[in-house]
Structure 1
Amino acid sequence: MDTVINLYEAKTHLSDLVERAARGEEIVIAKAGRPLARLVSLAQRTAARPLGLFAAQVAMGPDFDAPLPDDVRLAFEGAAP
């Protein structure tokens, strides 16, 4: 079962609560008995993500955000002939 902590206590003991969550405990923060948030551990990455994986293969044209031609726009709207 999750540990339920009131908001005032959570503010007072935040460092301790973060450490407990990092060890795997799930802590629910409540205000006036109503649950508001859950404090949980972040998942550990097993490997670093490569940055710029497609940097040399993808380019964005200068007209990227130009309005779509009418036939393409109508197709997206489900009104294509």
Structure 2
Amino acid sequence: MQTVNMLQAKSSLSRLVEALEAGEEREIIIARNGKPAARLVPFNVTQAAVRIGVAKGAFEVPDDIDGCNAEVAALLAGGGAR
């Protein structure tokens, strides 16, 4: 993570955006008077996309996984066990 001051950000915005697009930086902090004021991040980066499929193949789902759906729904709705 790179931190730049406001003047640096103004004068080199294109270079900073290129660094984000190229993956050289994940985020750039823009500071005003030495204090973080803004965060520059790539537009197309989504946190959820990294996690999808992370447990694939780590466990087996039993065939009867949906066998108690009605009972669970009743419990969550406050109806008690059937």
State TM-score, norm by structure 1. 0.49
* Greater percentage in helix: 2
